[in-house]
């Protein structure tokens, strides 16, 4: 089934970047971005996502048209590209039947590799995930949402895939922290998660021979999220400290 996504072309001091447009549904859009960038898009830094630095928008649009037509073989159309265009993409992802969904709140983290922790906060969920892993039950989708973090993990026979995300403060608070103005240019610099909130996401797919090994691997993916979040925030702070020397001095006091 073909899914239509809208992407925005935005400009930063590091070049041009494609980002999701929330004018249309974005569920599953990470697969499209992984295809575009030929990498795990969610784990890429902002600078790695940029291209055509210093080029005018007309050249950038032509570059995108060529790449999508000749290399990606994905149909697209443009609107409003005399300024900052919106790009409509027709994408054919792999569609699966909807799995059973279970929502959990593990309080201190998105995930845990300890059976007892699951029993404390979501009884029977551990056994349900193990059955899905062994293939004796249908896949199960775990949505998890402790404070300031979110996640969605699909457990299937022998493997798991999904994403974890952090939740930052709102744009007004972030701009105050960074000593800048909350305008359109600022919002385009800040990453957003699948939920449309400021923060960073981390996508993964893991396989294992045993269920406990799978749970351990998923737990380590949350560690990857934390490292990615810290690196992304430090990069953004460096950008605005470079643009605002006074802020850079004050933050060292």
> Cα torsion for 221, 226, 230, 231, to the nearest 10°?
0
What tokens were used for 86?
């919106």
Residues 33 and 118 in one domain: no
How many domains does the chain divide into?
2
**CA dist., res. 91 & res. 3, Å (int):** 5
For residue 252, the model assigns a pLDDT of 45
HSE (side-chain half, CA atoms, 13 Å) at 133 = 21
Residues 137 and 242 in one domain: yes
φ, ψ of residue 111 in degrees (nearest 5)? -140, 165
For residue 93, the model assigns a pLDDT of 64
Residues 108 and 57 in one domain: no
Residues 167 and 110 in one domain: yes
C-alpha distances in angstroms, 241 versus 108, 185, 228, 248?
32, 16, 20, 5
Residues 59 and 119 in one domain: no
Reduced to 3 DSSP states, what percent helix, strand and coil does the chain have, rounded to the nearest 5?
40, 25, 35
Last residue of a domain, one of 26, 58, 91: 91
Residues 123 and 218 in one domain: yes
Alpha helices by DSSP H, the chain:
29-37, 46-49, 57-66, 115-121, 125-134, 171-178, 184-189, 211-243, 245-250
Range of the domain at 178: 100-250
Last residue of a domain, one of 63, 91, 119: 91
How does pLDDT run along the chain (253 residues), one tens digit per residue? 678 888 988 888 888 999 888 766 677 788 888 888 888 788 888 888 999 998 988 898 889 999 998 888 888 887 765 566 788 888 876 545 578 999 999 988 999 999 999 999 999 999 999 999 998 888 999 999 877 899 999 999 999 999 999 999 999 999 998 888 888 888 888 888 877 889 999 999 999 999 999 999 999 999 999 999 999 999 888 887 766 544 444 444 3
16's CB contacts (< 8 A; 6+ apart) are 9, 10, 50, 51, 52, 53, 55, 57, 60
Residues 33 and 123 in one domain: no
For residue 147, the model assigns a pLDDT of 77
The answer to whether the pTM exceeds 0.75 is no
Residues 84 and 105 in one domain: no
Residues 34 and 126 in one domain: no
Residues 217 and 111 in one domain: yes
The angle subtended at Cα 198 by Cα 226 and Cα 234, nearest 5°, is: 50
Residues 117 and 233 in one domain: yes
**CA dist., res. 61 & res. 230, Å (int):** 32
Last residue of a domain, one of 52, 74, 91: 91
**CA dist., res. 194 & res. 200, Å (int):** 9
Residues 65 and 38 in one domain: yes
Residue 162 backbone zone (phi > 0: left; psi -120 to 50: alpha; other: beta): left
2's CB contacts (< 8 A; 6+ apart) are 90, 91, 92
């Amino acid at each position: 089934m073909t899914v239509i996504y809208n992407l925005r072309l935005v400009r930063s001091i590091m070049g041009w970047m494609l980002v999701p447009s929330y004018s249309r549904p974005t569920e599953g859009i990470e697969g499209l971005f992984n295809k575009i960038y030929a990498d795990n898009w969610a784990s890429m830094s902002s600078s790695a996502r940029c291209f055509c630095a210093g080029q005018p928008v007309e050249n950038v649009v032509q570059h995108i048209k060529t790449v999508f037509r000749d290399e990606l073989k994905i149909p697209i159309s443009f609107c409003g590209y005399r300024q900052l265009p919106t790009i409509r993409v027709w994408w054919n992802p792999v569609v699966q039947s909807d799995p059973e969904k279970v929502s959990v709140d593990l309080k201190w983290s998105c995930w845990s590799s300890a059976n007892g922790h699951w029993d404390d906060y979501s009884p029977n969920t551990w056994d349900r995930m193990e059955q899905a892993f062994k293939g004796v039950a249908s896949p199960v989708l775990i949505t998890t949402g402790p404070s300031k973090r979110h996640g969605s993990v699909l457990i299937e026979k022998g493997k798991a895939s999904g994403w974890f995300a952090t939740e930052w403060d709102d744009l007004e608070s972030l701009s105050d922290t960074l000593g800048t103005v909350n305008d359109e240019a600022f919002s385009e610099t800040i990453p957003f998660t699948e939920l449309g909130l400021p923060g960073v996401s981390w996508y993964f797919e893991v396989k294992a021979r045993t269920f406990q090994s799978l749970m351990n691997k998923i737990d380590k993916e949350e560690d990857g999220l934390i490292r990615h979040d810290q690196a992304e925030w430090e990069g953004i702070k460096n950008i605005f400290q470079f643009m605002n020397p006074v802020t850079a001095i004050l933050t060292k006091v």
